[in-house]
Structure 1
Amino acid sequence: MKTTVGACPLDCPDACSWLVTVDDDGTAVKLRGNPAHPVTRGALCVKVNRYLEQTAAPDRILHPMRRVGRKGEGRFERIGWDEALDEIAGRLGDIMHEYDGQAIWPFHGTGSLGYVQGMEGFAGRRFFNVLGASVHEPTICSPAGSAGLKYTLGTSGGMDPEDFARSKLILLWGTNPLTSGHHFWKSVQDARLDGAYVVAIDPVRTRTAQQADEHLAPMPGTDAALALGLLHVIVRMGAHDQAYIDAHTLGWEEFRARIEEFPPDLVAKITGLPEERIVALGERIARTRPTAIRATQGLQRHAGGGMALRTLACLPGVTGDWALPGGGLCYSTSGHFKLNLPKLVRIDLLPHPVRSLTMTRLGEGLLEVDDPPVKALFVIAANPVGSNPAQNKVRRGLSREDLFTVVLEHFPTDTTDYADIVLPATMQTEHLDVIAGYGHLYLVWNEPAAAPPGECLSTSETFRRLARRMGLTEPSLYASDEELVRDLLDSPHPWLEGVTVERLREEGFVRLNVDRPFLPFAEGFPTTSGKLEFYSRRATRLGHDPLPGFTPHADSGEGLVLISAAPHHFLNTTFGNNPELRRRAGGPVIVLHPDDAAARGIADGAAVRVHNARGAFEATAEVSDRVRPGVAATTKGRWAKFTGGTTVNATIDERDSDMGHGAVFHDNRVEVDLA
């Protein structure tokens, strides 16, 4: 028996360090959380606990395959790697000769957040740069919130989540860590032991909201208005930190006038919350230092998502919490990892400037973009039929017979059914990678623990072989995985000083060189002014309001606002084929408030059809006050092939949020009828 240190690659803030035990035959037989890691603390989630079971699943793809049926049927024949590489190289060569390299779209998903094998490093991007392929803009997760935060703070980085243990008031704003990133809850528990009060702000009474001291359920998409209403109470009380404001912020007088536009009575009408609850929370914030806000990606998946995070980041600027250990806001820590991504990705290899194609507009990109049209699609660690908005439109695009689609995958997903060539990819226990958590400040090393089954190849090796097959001579295309990591770590930033391949491999994880507690803006904000910018000239130049404010939902017609949140037993669509996790999750459910169910003649347990002009899916109704009136709630992550052919994403618009081209999964009106 031997034990190997690795890292979970999945789309979760926690980026867990794990330990893999391998027997004498080289088979991975045990997986557990690394007890030495200060965040993982020896525990994994209910999903990842089954990861070894998943690597050995009977439906795993072990060999290259070629389509023999119509697109969407999922009928394939086994072929060899030489045959697969020859066909891919030939098709790409023909497309580049007839059109241009930009007719190729490398579509990266969040199935792996690895810098070598996954989306964070745009695995294979050097290869695609040499071809002059279009640049993939990964907009499905967090871009709206990141863009909004940068207008206020100059970065999307904020608090160290471990410092929430020092907080006296914690606002869990649009986040459900007990389902998505449960290790953060340990910091919440540590704070509670020291007297902290916890408030959950969420339209749904989630697992996390049930455990909080208080739960407020605003209408979806009204969070910025609520933040302004809370600030109105704070300023009216004279509880704003004028000394901090004078020394560290820009545009206070203009922002103060904006705050005056949102008194609690108006905010109550916008959010659907009782005015007295808004006032009470504002007063609690006013008298409690330090106050910390944890806000994650679901909060910004609507028309005003960028503005919501931009406005929330102002609250600790008004109260002065950004200067206090245990105070401020945490959205994502990824902005603090000053890695050398340019040296890893090598955009300089592009022969000429190329266009960007937006991830969450895949249907549009395949059906409407020309000059040149998309003629080849590489799907890497992604399942867009299951994860993208406008599911029916995406399917129409993938059904094009003139589109050459290559999918690197582990399992026969809804997307592989549309592939021309399927290539078997390794899983995390079988290849080298490095992961940076977006919910902590550690780089985590992943050493391969077991040999890949069948003919599976790592993504990096797949593109090395394909480059060789195409006769490409650029030396950097053949860099080893370890060389790729060295390029990534070749950064002059002091936070990465001393972080080397050797140290990562020996220790398993390394914390960035930042103080404990971590005050991210102790030396100033990374804005043009060096201050927190209530008033942003940069926002004005880019066509936005110079001040934080409130942007209503774009889909504001009739029906219920549908939230499709993260499930407890799947991670996006990863594990959507696992029999035990599917059994635990059950079929699709839509939660309706008793008033909304009664108005539609729907009883608890009834079979219903959820629909709008874009599409429909079927579910079982759960009648419960876990949702507020006017809101319906379901979860994402199910595979369409197991749920009657469609999922919730069939109802979601292929439309951008206000900033960063973010997706609008929660800006979605539907009607619900008996099936």
Structure 2
Amino acid sequence: MSDQNVLWKRPVTRRKFLTLGVAAAGLATGSYLFWKDGFTLTSFSGETAVDEKIVRTSGSHNCGGRCLIQVHVRDGRIVRISTEDDIPDTPQKPQLRGCLRCRSYRERLYHPDRLKYPMKRVGKRGEGNFERITWDEALDTIAGHTQRIRQQYGPDGIYIQYGWGNSGRVSERVWMERLLGLQGGYLSYYGNYSTACTHMATPYTYGTTNTGNNREDWLNSKVIILLGWNPAETIHGTNTTYYLKRAKAAGAKIITIDPIYSNTAISLADQWIPIRPTTDSALLDAMAYVMITEDLHDQKFLDQYCLGFDEDHMPPGIPAGNSYRSYVLGDSEDNTPKTPAWAEAITGIPQETIIQLAREYATNRPGALIEGYGPQRHAYGEQVVRSGIALAAMTGNVGVKGGWASGSGYQARGNFVASIPAANPHKAQISVFSWPDAIVRGKGMGSELSVKGARQLNSNIKLIFNLGGNCLVTQHADNNGTAKILADENLVEFLVVSEQFLTPSAKFADILLPADNMMERDDIVTPWGWGDYVLYMNKAVDTVFECRNGYDWISDLAGRLGLKEKFTEGRTLEQWLRYLVEETAKKNPGFPSYEEFTRNGVYRWEHKEPAIAFQKQIEDPQNNPFPTPSGKIEIFSSRLWDMKNPREIPAVPKYVPAWEGPEDPLRETYPLQCIGHHYKRRVHSVFDNVDWMEEAGRQEVWVNALDAAERGLNDGELVKVYNDRGIIVLPVKVTSRIMPGVASVPQGAWWMPDAEGVDRRGSINTLTKYHPTPLAFGNPTHTNLVQITRA
């Protein structure tokens, strides 16, 4: 039997490196599709063997980092993984060194539960029962349903689900978008699960999401405030903590604001300020009150560059009392000054600390108020984004070295990397978070329900392609409610999943396809958000079993739809990758040849100075207006005013009390605010089934010692975390690293309900509510009230 049919083996211990085992007998259908048998072990000294080759590659999961991985291959098998260490590590060119996630990629590749063959569902959808079929049968079935649903329901009936388990330039979803576009189009989405609110709200003030200086510029900052941002674990661009350390060494004071005393706070912060979830905008509004009443704000900057800060700089026709200053001072409709005492009652932060923080930021210029994405993932997450921008403007920290415009914070300078041509002739889009609505009541959905590009949808979603993602169940809100929708075959009529494991989302597939691993394919990847480089993923080992690359099987699907010639243009996958390199080089003089790029595995752009967001607008405003309707920083937005929903979508940034927040009467029943922080042991839900990563970080609910004592909870024991939406059971971590009244369940754990529906793995989304935010229709992941008792 060839190496293509070798089975993976269960390890004796988690601390041993695995290799592929000896050849095994062939598989039948049914329950044997997931079987595991013995294994063989190999040891190594850590030194490169004579017969060992090193392949330079990277990862393509939706990780906050994008690192250079060196894969050590012997006899066609990966024996270990190292990272970039063969160039000098300098401040100008730091090594792209991988974290513990990168180091455990081998365990994921050789995991015994990896999917091996195409399968079709048997029994009810969602039960996870499948039988083996051939690729021909799988593709014939997919082609037939695709043609039928397009003819019966039109493009609104076909949806490619959000999911970035494979974020490469030639991933499965890229090819499916190209194919369905050639066939007549499909229903697409706008926004994303990570940054929905900031991605929507930031342009209402600045006209763009590119509001961040390059990280090198932090050396010029005197104070750096990290609001709900934990790059020590989310990474948020390889080497981000390195640049923060350099800034700290240069004299910057670093302050973290977070309900959790995070690894970033431990390693970098001079001060940790715990805050109740969903209340960040109340803190920022109170800081604005201090600046105004103590005359610490930059009125000259506000007069010249901003619209709507005070009554003297409002759009024509707006009644008095609607400026941001009026709101903050209590001269508006609510008649409530946003004093530090007011904010203390909401946020749990002592008013003395709020005053100190406001003074620190206002008087130590330039300063950077950097907003993480956690605070905007709540019921009214749009508001914290715009409140932070208002403070950046009030302190004159926009468009200057060492400053930070706040908001989305995407780099002001981007680097062009080509993409596969894919056009969708169908213009209707839904919010990325609103797909359950489009399944249940899609036909007739209009702009008031998150639809863009069309007056209304002409069909409910009937066909879903879920390619390399776990957002059907686990990464979407309300696992139990969403599972019921997906299980109803009268709603979604056909569901295709391409995956490497039988994830909770994959269990709902009608056709389940085994994907190749990133170590088994060539691709091109770019950093998550920050970083002036691009990486080539070199294939390290051959694909095994009947796993196939996305381009391979989607090309065959295109043939069944009569589109193969148009789809492939006669190119192999390597020729498409060469095309991407050539197109990239056209806009980047000096970009390497394909051969050089693949050999080095990385290309770094070099720039003389860091890019400063809005520097041209500040230095030469006459010739460089802000890309907003007024040409100014719109603290007051006429576009938001015209929406006529002042309570939930105010024209100036305001604190809006969250449902299931600290002021909700529901706290009498469910007294703890529960969030779901990112965790070093996973890339969202990727690696949740890898034993090594469980050693790095156990799935457990974090509870403050005071809350634990009140409930009689002991560290490490099993507890029940619950609300009206579901129950999870998992160990408790009793700690002083989380503020009282708050609990946190690390996000990304797979949804694993038992026969009674109790989630025994502990997915935070078993507890979250499907309730899109009012403007972005984004996910309010951190807006949950729960109770915790002994299990």
- What TM-score results when the alignment is normalised by the length of structure 2? 0.78
1:347 and 2:424 aligned: yes
Q: Map 1:132-151 to 2 at 5 A.
A: 132-151=185-204
**Aligned pair partner of 2:765 in 649, 658, 667:** 649
**How far off its partner does 1:234 sit?**
2.6
2:84 paired residue among 9, 29, 34: 34
Change in CA separation of 1:75 and 1:667 when aligned onto 2, cut-off 3 Å: same
Question: Counterpart in 1 of 2:207?
Answer: 154
| Corresponding residue to 2:105 among 47, 51, 60 | 51
Per-residue deviation, residues 61-103 of structure 1 (Å, max 9, x unmatched):
2321222343233222222222211111112222223332322
- Corresponding residue for residue 383 of structure 1: 470
Following superposition, the deviation at residue 202 of structure 1 comes to 0.2
- Report the counterpart of residue 188 of structure 1 in structure 2: 244
Alignment of 1:292-307 (within 5 A): 292-307=368-383
Q: Which amino acid aligns with 2:221?
A: S
The partner residue of 1:399 within 475, 478, 487 is 487
User: 1:594 and 1:9 mapped to 2: Cα distance?
Assistant: 39
Instruction: Report the alpha carbon displacement of residue 301 of structure 1 after superposing the two structures with TM.
Output: 0.7
Aligned CA distance change for structure 1 residues 279 and 186 (closer, same or farther; 3 Å)? same
Which residue in 2 is equivalent to 1:126?
Answer: 178
Indicate if the aligned counterparts of 2:464 and 2:494 stay in contact, CA closer than 8 A: yes
* Match in the other structure for 2:609: 516
How far, CA to CA, are the matches of 1:420 and 1:66 in structure 2?
A: 6
Over 3 Å counting, the alpha-carbon distance change for 1:171 and 1:452 in structure 2 is same
- The structure with the greater share of residues assigned to helix is 1
Residue 526 of structure 2 aligns with which residue? 436
What is the match of residue 276 of structure 1? 352
Q: Distance in 2 between matches of 1:506 and 1:462?
A: 27
Shift in alpha-carbon separation, 1:342–1:314, aligned structure 2, 3 A: farther
Question: Alignment partner for residue 660 of structure 1, among 738, 755, 776?
Answer: 776
Among residues 433, 436, 439, which one is paired with 1:366 in the alignment? 439
Q: 1:11 aligns with which of 59, 62, 83?
A: 62
Residue aligning to 2:557: 466
The one-character-per-residue Cα deviations of 1:620-662 (angstroms, maximum 9, x if unpaired) are 2333332222211121121233962762211111111233221
Per-residue Cα deviation, 1:471-508 (whole angstroms, up to 9, x for no partner): 126724556555478569858998x6665774855664
Query: Quick check: 2:170–2:420 contact (8 Å CA) kept in 1?
Result: no
- Contact 1:305–1:659 under 8 Å retained in 2: no
Q: Which residue of 2 aligns with 1:615?
A: 726
Query: 543-552 vs 496-505, which deviates more?
Result: 496-505
**Number of residue-to-residue matches in the alignment:** 666
3-state secondary structure, aligned to 1:231: helix
**Which residue of 258, 271, 281 corresponds with 1:202?**
258
Residues 491 and 58 (structure 1), Cα distance of their counterparts in 2 relative to 1, 3 Å cut: closer
Aligned counterparts of 1:268 and 1:665: Cα–Cα separation in 2: 24
**Residue 456, structure 1, aligned to residue 456, structure 2:** no
What residue number does 1:225 align with?
Answer: 282
Quote the Cα distance in structure 2 between the aligned partners of 1:112 and 1:473.
23
Residue matched to 2:514: 424
Q: Hey, what's the Cα distance between the residues in 1 that align with 2:729 and 2:438?
A: 28
Relative to structure 1, is the Cα distance of residues 250 and 367 closer, same or farther in structure 2, using a 3 angstrom cutoff? closer
CA pair 458-147 structure 1, distance change in 2 beyond 3 A: same
Cα distance in 1, alignment partners of residues 172 and 630 from structure 2: 35
CA distance in structure 2 between the aligned counterparts of 1:186 and 1:569, rounded to whole angstroms: 20
Please, which runs of 5 or more residues in structure 1 have no aligned partner? none
**Residues 580 and 342 (structure 1), Cα distance of their counterparts in 2 relative to 1, 3 Å cut:** closer
What do you get for the CA RMSD once the two structures are aligned? 3.0
Distance 1:47 1:497 in 2: 34
The 5 A counterparts of 1:517-532 are 517-524=610-617, 525-532=626-633
Per-residue CA deviations over 1:389-433 (Å, capped at 9, x if unaligned) read: 010122112222353211110111112222111112122233233
Contact 2:69 2:83 in 1 (8 A): yes
Whether the 8 Å CA contact 2:285–2:338 is kept in 1: the answer is yes
Question: What does residue 674 of structure 1 align with?
Answer: 790
1:549 partnered with 2:654: yes
Structure 2 partner of 1:95:
149
Structure 1 stretch displaced more, 482-491 or 318-327: 482-491
Matched with 2:23 is none
Does structure 1 retain, via aligned residues, the 8 Å contact 2:117–2:133?
yes
Q: Does 1:285 align with 2:337?
A: no
164-173 vs 248-257, which moves further? 248-257
| Amino acid of the structure 2 residue aligned with 1:179 | E
Asked if the contact 2:213–2:411 (Cα under 8 Å) also holds between the matched residues in 1, the reply is no
Closer, same or farther in 2 for the Cα pair 1:533/1:357, shift >3 Å? Answer: closer
CA distance in 1, matches of 2:689, 2:707: 33
TM superposition shift of 1:305: 1.0
1:475 is the counterpart of 2:548: no
Q: Distance in 1 between matches of 2:545 and 2:495?
A: 22
Please tell me whether the aligned partners of residues 39 and 184 of structure 1 are also in contact (alpha carbons under 8 angstroms): no
In 2, distance between residues paired with 1:303 and 1:309? Answer: 13
- 8 A contact 1:434–1:443 mirrored in 2: no
Q: Deviations over 1:588-644 (max 9, x none)?
A: 422223443344344444432211111111122333332222211121121233962
CA distance in 1, matches of 2:461, 2:413: 35
How far did 1:107 drift?
Answer: 0.8
Look up the SS of the partner of 1:200 in the other structure. strand
The aligned residue for residue 341 of structure 2 is 265
Match of 1:237 in 2: 294
Query: How far apart are residue 258 of structure 1 and its match?
Result: 3.2
Percentage of pairs with the same residue: 28
Write the letter of the residue equivalent to 2:528.
Y
- Cα drift, residue 440 of structure 1: 1.4
Change in Cα spacing, 1:606 to 1:7, as seen in structure 2 (3 Å) is: closer
Aligned residues of 1:39 and 1:183 also touching (Cα < 8 A): no
